[in-house]
Amino acid sequence: MFNSSALFSIGPQVEEIFGSQKFVFIYIGTGVASGIASYLFLPNATAGASGAIFGLIGVLAVYGYRLGGSFGRALTRQMLI
């Protein structure tokens, strides 16, 4: 339920900023990367969808940081909280 709620609130922001194709690439890429990292560090557990959500959060945080200004700082702060 948490993953669906987070994707519903964060997904449109990422899609608006980066476009639909990059959104899908980012979501799948961070999901696969988190699954691989999770398997390497904890072979008995994996983080698929949760890792993809955290990847979207990380992308927005970095975007806000690079954007700068009051909006960028607010976006970064919101994503880190």
The per-residue pLDDT for range 8-41, each reduced to its tens digit, is 999 999 999 999 999 999 999 999 998 888 888 8
Phi then psi dihedrals of residue 29, to 5 deg: -60, -45
pLDDT at 58 over 90: yes
- Check: CB of residue 21 under 8 Å from CB of residue 47: no
Structure tokens, 34: 């988190």
Residues 42, 21: Cα–Cα separation, whole Å? 31
pTM of the model: 0.85
Report CA-CA distances (Å) from 48 to 18, 21, 36, 55, 77.
Answer: 22, 20, 9, 11, 25
Kindly indicate the confidence band of residue 1, based on its pLDDT and cuts at 50, 70 and 90. confident
